[in-house]
Copies of this chain bind each other. A is one copy, B any other.
Amino acid sequence: MLQSRLFTKTLRESPRDEAAANARLLIRAGFIHKEMAGVYSFLPLGFRVLKKIEGIIREEMNALGANEVLLTALQDSSVWETSGRWDDQVIDVWFKTPLKSGSLLGLANTHEEAITSLMRQYVSSYRDLPFSVYQIQTKFRNELRARSGLLRGREFLMKDLYSFHLNTDDLDSFYERVAAAYAKIFSRLDIGDITYQTFASGGAFSKYSHEFQTATAAGEDLIHVCVDCRQAVNEEIKADLPACPACGGSNFRRVTAIEVGNIFKLGTRFSEAANLTVTDTEGKNHFVIMGSYGLGLSRLMGALVETHHDDHGIIWPVAAAPFSVHLLSLGDDSATVAAAGSLYQKLAAAGVTALFDDRLNVSVGAKLTDADLIGLPYRLIVSQKSGDRIEFKERASAQSSLLTVSEVVGRLVS
């Protein structure tokens, strides 16, 4: 993409009303725009990051065999009254809004009730099980305070997956497959080594649930990471668990972290409320056993910035970067402009996505500062100074090297 065609510009100053690094950097670099606390629009660069994260998550969900759907934000109270969660004291972050007719609708912050109710239409026999469905959809939470940028939003993108089983063994094995899929997603996003599967309270049906916590000083949670096995325990239940429930070890590191995902064994909590049953081979009725698995897309984007930046700006992992390459034309003379344009074409032909800073009348310093702030993984500079060589530098590294055009393409394609 030509940077001259991008409507956003980097801002010199950090926004004064944002404390979180993710919001400060993403706003300054033009990835997001703050509509109000906890509500952010995604501008072209930010939108591309979201789509990259979405693509990775979709691949891993499809690999589980899950069907993709799109449920609704607007929710009828009747569906939620059966589970008891329509009550504002039970879910204290409801947004509710009146229909013209006067009845009150809710804006969904999760979809267990909706998906369970819907399934009564399609599920009646053990032969219909097991299966799983997911969606990538906008959720709403009426947070009293929202001041961590993308880490705690009032409107945010989530992937939510729901699974349906005949028995707990089947749920248990699917649950482990989801945990493995999540680990793969975090690894692809380059936060695998700082994201911990964490024991958390489990509710009525299951002793524990699991959260996936990414270590960052900006996190709102405190977890205890077992030094021996890398599993962690949330502070909230640490008192009940002196030893690591995974390996029995007793050495822990205390770490602040942000919850980027969670997985729950719901059991029959929602199928009983909605009366979702199947008949077995002998015609006997059973409540369907369910699991629920969340992952925050916009929160992941915030967590990536919190864990991948320096004093100069963002340092995107390749898999989430809006473009792989920032190509800078430093010099408005015709030879430099032509050489940069030619390299831009060659990158496109090789399938390498690039943001091409083709802006004229912009100083060298401003272009370099912008590139660091925006934080694409690879920076290429074309200038008179380097002649027919290209200056190649990784954003994460201080070292640069002078390469020929074919060496540059070779490095980026391999």
A217: min CB distance to chain B, Å = 27
A 144-159 binary contact with B (CB < 8 Å = 1; else 0): 1000000000110000
B-binding segment of A66-74, A174-182, A223-231, A339-347: A66-74
Shortest C-beta distance, A293 to chain B (Å), equals 16
Q: Indicate if the CB atoms of A7 and B41 lie closer than 8 Å.
A: no
Indicate if A99 sits at the interface (CB-CB under 8 A): yes
Among A43-51, A205-213, A384-392, A400-408, the stretch in contact with B: A43-51
A41 and B118 within 8 A (CB): yes
Contact between chains at B41 and A67 (CB < 8 Å): no
Determine the distance from Cα of A7 to Cα of B129 in the docked complex, in whole angstroms: 9
Q: Is A96 an interface residue (CB 8 A)?
A: yes
Contact partner of A35 (CB less than 8 A), chosen from B96, B99, B114, is B114
A201 to B47, CA, bound (A): 34
> Are B72 and A40 in contact, CB atoms less than 8 angstroms apart?
yes
9-residue interface stretch from A120-128, A277-285, A327-335: A120-128
CA distance A171 to B123 in the complex (A): 53
Interface pair A41/B122, CB less than 8 Å apart: no
Interface pair A43/B65, CB less than 8 Å apart: no
Complex Cα–Cα for A404 and B155 (A): 54
A70 touches B97 (CB 8 A): no
Return chain B residues, CB-CB under 8 Å to A69.
41-44, 47
CB atoms of B65 and A5 under 8 A apart: yes
Task: Tell me if A6 and B67 are in contact (CB < 8 A).
Answer: yes
* Chain B CB within 8 A of A95 CB: yes
Please give the residue numbers on chain A whose beta carbons come within 8 Å of chain B beta carbons, in ascending order: 5-9, 11, 30, 33, 35-36, 39-44, 47, 50, 65, 67-76, 79, 95-97, 99-101, 105, 107, 114, 118-119, 121-123, 128, 131, 133, 138, 140, 142-144, 154-155
